Amino acid sequence: MKNATKILLSVLAALGLVILASSFILPDILEPKLRRALIGEFYEQSNEQYQLELASINISIWGREISADSIAVKTTDESLEIKHIKASSILIDGIQWFTLFSQRFPRFRSVTVSEPDAELYTRRISSAKPNPESPSANNSDITLSTFDVFIKSGKGKIVERDGNVVFSLESFDLSAREVNLNTILQGAYVPYLQDLSFSGAGLFWNLEEEFYHFTVDDFAFNKESKAARVEGLSFTPIVPKYDFAKFKGQQLDRFDLTVQSIQMENVDLDSLFIPSINLSNIIIESANLEVFHDKHMPPGPGIRFKPLLNDVAKQFGFSFGIDKLEVKNSNIAYGEHLPGSDNPGFITFADLDATITGFYTAEHPKFGEDSLRLDVMTRFMDASILNVDLAYAVQDKDETHTLKASLNEMDGTVLNGMLVNTAFTRIDRGYIHNLLIDLTLTDSYARGKMWLEYEDLKITALDENDATNTNFKTRLKSLIANTFVMRSDNMGEDMKVAEIDYPRPKDKAIFGYWWKSIQSGLEETIK
């Protein structure tokens, strides 16, 4: 009995020594085998289009992991989309070593890629969800298991064949579950990865043909919580203000936008496969938008039909909805520079807070359930509080909507920054006590009333060829306007209420339609 015990202990000790020795010897034996398997598997799974290079491989039998340093993916064909992919290291852990008996590369739990650097050539981006089971998506002899992936401190760039940078990302981190090699190589599939989390900084998009750069300082998205965050967004013209229209060869609006932060909720990327997008809440904070229109250039092609919201909702072609959008502490400025004026005239809206609810396209399940609502409070021309309330039946083919607005008291001369340079009119004195607007608008007309209470109004007409000149002709026009045409006071029991009945100009967008309708009421009031 004692001899049997000794023999058993001797066998166990020998096995222990063999296992211990194997843990040191096997890595040297397995390293070349795994290197060949990994490189070969990658080559086959990429349809023999890309080659994998590794500086070194480190194997830990007991730790069930493999790590590699200085990895590079190179193309076998310069016409392919991937120019190069590099990484400082890659770690594969949770390895099931015994699966090597049945396949060339073992199954594993996760991959961690550190400091990857990818440079791709421009290509079309597909909106359709790829099928990872299709022959085009995978090699027919798949041996890699699905795994979790973690990318740390990465960066990337998309360039044209001549080297011009179209898109770049200074840094990003990504994590996802249950992916395979082709879901990484096929960029179009990335939005559909399970439990995707993606964050980054230093995003740059070159919209050179449109004369804009789009940049984002910082962003993050978590698929599980369906939340997204964007900070430091800018949409910046890359040509000077007065060259913009010249380069385009016609009049057009030039936009300059910055946004401090955007928060989004209920962002479901999987719904893109339908395709369908519904955002439950968007919060935009501290946005600054300047729109400039240089009228020294000729206008664009003849009268073009400008759609209103019902037409816009039908033109999307897929289901899109916003339950609620909030704009906080923002500023908007719109300016025009007319021939004959030394300076542009601007209309401004400062400290703007707005809420939009219920915008849905024709394909959305909620289309037709309720009206779009817009509520705005802002400081008009940095002088008076303006409130706007809009209700829009987007589902109505007649484009029926109501617009109500109120403006508090203000000194009329504040408007000269806009009027002198765009209407060649100067307000010498005058005080606005109150303005109320109540309009119903359709695709055909705008009808309603305007109450404008003001006193002691006096104006000066300016030369349209020189806004600083008040010659005899302009002085005569001013005299006639102030004496015979214009009401200097509109108050009390004799206050005139303007009846607005204005046909819709089909070549005007919705904001232009509103303004022209209001302008007709202003003109009727002061006559």
CB atoms near residue 180 (< 10 Å)? 18
Question: Is the distance from CB of 175 to CB of 149 less than 8 angstroms?
Answer: yes
Residues facing 346 on adjacent strands? 335
Query: Cα separation of 95 and 506, whole Å?
Result: 67
DSSP helix/strand/coil, 482: helix
171-203 pLDDT, tens digit each: 999 999 888 765 555 555 666 778 889 999 999
Q: Concatenated DSSP letters for 330-371?
A: EEEEEEEE-TT-SS-EEEEEEEEEEEEEEEE-TTSTTTTTS-
Short-list 195, 201, 205, CA closest to 220: 201
Q: What is the CA radius of gyration of the chain?
A: 33
Q: Work out whether strand 227-237 and strand 253-265 pair parallel, antiparallel, or are unpaired.
A: antiparallel
| Residue 181, pLDDT score | 63
Query: Cα separation of 394 and 360, whole Å?
Result: 8
Short-list 87, 80, 50, 47, CA closest to 161: 80
Query: Cα separation of 64 and 106, whole Å?
Result: 11
DSSP helix/strand/coil, 506: coil
Return the ∠ at Cα 394 (arms to 388 and 400), rounded to 5°: 70
> How does DSSP classify residue 484?
I
Write the single-letter amino acid at 359.
Answer: F
| Residue 34, pLDDT score | 66
- HSE at residue 365, side-chain half, CA atoms within 13 A, is 3
Q: Is the peptide bond prior to 237 cis by the omega test (within 30 degrees of 0)?
A: no
DSSP helix/strand/coil, 15: helix
Query: Cα separation of 214 and 258, whole Å?
Result: 10
Query: Cα separation of 73 and 87, whole Å?
Result: 9
| Residue 102, pLDDT score | 76
Which stretches of 396-465 are DSSP H helices? 416-422
| Residue 247, pLDDT score | 87
Using 70 as the pLDDT threshold, list the residues of the chain that sit under it. Answer: 1-34, 45, 104-105, 123-145, 181-191, 272-273, 302-303, 463-486
Residue 245 neighbours by CB under 8 Å, 6+ apart? 251, 252, 254, 294, 296, 297
| Residue 523, pLDDT score | 85
Query: Cα separation of 142 and 150, whole Å?
Result: 22
Query: Cα separation of 141 and 130, whole Å?
Result: 19
DSSP helix/strand/coil, 236: strand
State how far the alpha carbon of 407 is from the alpha carbons of 246, 377, 486, in Å. 37, 10, 21
Write the single-letter amino acid at 55.
Answer: A
Report the 3 state secondary structure along 466-478.
ECCCCCHHHHHHH
Helix (H) or strand (E) holding 230: strand 227-237
Residue 49 neighbours by CB under 8 Å, 6+ apart? 75, 76, 77, 80
Domain boundaries, the chain: 10-145+172-182
Residue 165 neighbours by CB under 8 Å, 6+ apart? 157, 158, 159, 204, 206
| Residue 1, pLDDT score | 44
